[in-house]
Amino acid sequence: MTLSEQRQSPHCLVEPWRFRRILNPAVVEVDVVLFERRVAEATATTLQEAAELYQGDLLAGLAVSEAGFEEWLLPERERLRELAIDALAKLLVYPEVRAAQQKLSATHQAVDDLTAQLERDLSERRAAADRALVEVERQHRERRTELEAEERDLVARIQALRDELRGLAAKAGAL
């Protein structure tokens, strides 16, 4: 496909505009544009979609050391932040949203309670496991001490038997 054919295609990513090339808005989705459209529609569904689209400051983390860019970016961030706040405020007016928010708050509380209970259970189980480990180590030391004592007794008995055998061998050799 030639460049002129691509330009004529409705799926062309870049199109000419004056003496420049711009992104084709029919092909490229821009989250800020979608966000602004959803806020402008102002229904419970579109405001919810707008709230989901807004993920924080525009181009957060991007560092460009151009004064003109920063002069544009800071007010644009503020404008979008205010739009997001307004959208959330409007969203709270809808009864179904308030009900969902209350249900969500109750669910968050239940999750928090369950998490706290699980953390307590986990802490108790860790403490029990620590106590069991201490007991196993104590029993291991105790058994090792017993085995060492048995080993010393066996070594002493073997040594006594060797001495007795030497004595008997010496008597038998003297005969």
Terminal-to-terminal C-alpha distance of the chain: 119
| Confidence class for position 1, pLDDT limits 50, 70, 90 | very low
- Say what the pLDDT of residue 21 is: 67
pLDDT at 92: 81
Distance CA 58, CA 75 (A): 10
Q: Please, which residues bridge with residue 15 across strands?
A: 22
The pLDDT of residue 67 is 86
Q: Which residue has the higher pLDDT, 17 or 31?
A: 31
> What phi and psi, each to the nearest 5 degrees, are found at residue 29?
-95, 130
β-pairing verdict for 14-17 and 20-23: antiparallel
pLDDT in tens, 21-79: 666 666 778 889 899 999 999 888 899 899 999 999 988 888 888 888 888 889 999 99
Please, what's the largest Cα pairwise distance for the chain?
129
- What's 42's DSSP letter? -
- pLDDT value at position 152? 96
Residue 17's pLDDT band (cuts 50, 70, 90): low
Within 8 A by CB and 6+ apart from 94, the residues are 44, 47
Q: Residue 151: count other Cβ atoms within 10 Å of its Cβ.
A: 10
Alpha helices in 11-94 (DSSP H): 31-41, 44-53, 67-91
Rounded CA separation 160/78 (Å): 95
In contact, 34 and 86? CB cutoff 8 Å: no
pLDDT digits (tens, 9 = 90+) for 99-146: 877 888 899 999 999 999 999 999 999 999 999 999 999 999 999 999
Amino acid type, 34: L
| CA nearest neighbour of 32 among 90, 107, 106, 84 | 84
pTM recorded for the entire structure: 0.45
Report the distance separating Cα 157 and Cα 159, nearest Å.
5
Tell me the two tokens of residue 164. 């007795």
- Spans of all domains in the chain: 1-93
Please list the residues that pair with 16 across neighbouring strands. 21
DSSP-derived letter for residue 15 is: E
